[in-house]
Amino acid sequence: MQRRSKTLHVEMGLNDDAARCERPASGERRRPSQTPAKLANGTFVAGDASALDAFSRLLSKRNVELLKLIKEAKPQSVAELARLSGRPKASLMLTLRRFNTYGIVEFVETDGRRKVPRVACDRVRLDIPIA
């Protein structure tokens, strides 16, 4: 049975001109709005340029290779994926959670605490409205 191709659609806005001008108080870190909102049609919307920067870093060459590894090797746990990828489990889990936020990776719960990572889409389409 042939699986249907699934494309993840992410739409980014570039409306954070005011946020870039504001400086945080001394010792305070400004947390950019990097968490996307999911619409009913499966589209993810992130509203500012900092979210666009975070998303582009998430889709680095190294991380795209990680997605291919998950798809091909079908690891049965995050620990197994850490061994296969050569990445530390803690930083790997952080990357997987970020992918999960956008719906690129999903976790299949198994008995116990084990989470099986699975790639949830075949491609990612990014739209950036200019006007």
Whether the pLDDT of residue 121 is over 50: the answer is: yes
50 part of a folded domain:
yes
pLDDT at residue 34, rounded to an integer: 54
> CA 30 to CA 24: how far, in whole Å?
6
Average pLDDT over every residue of 67-90: 97
Give the CATH number for residue 88: 1.10.10.10
17 part of a folded domain:
yes
1 part of a folded domain:
no
Q: Structurally, how many domains does the chain consist of?
A: 1
* Predicted TM-score of the model (pTM): 0.74
Which residue type sits at 97? Answer: R
User: How distant is the alpha carbon of residue 124 from its chain centre?
Assistant: 10
Task: Report the percent of the chain where pLDDT is more than 90.
Answer: 40
> CA 99 to CA 76: how far, in whole Å?
18
* Element containing residue 11 per DSSP (H, E): strand 7-12
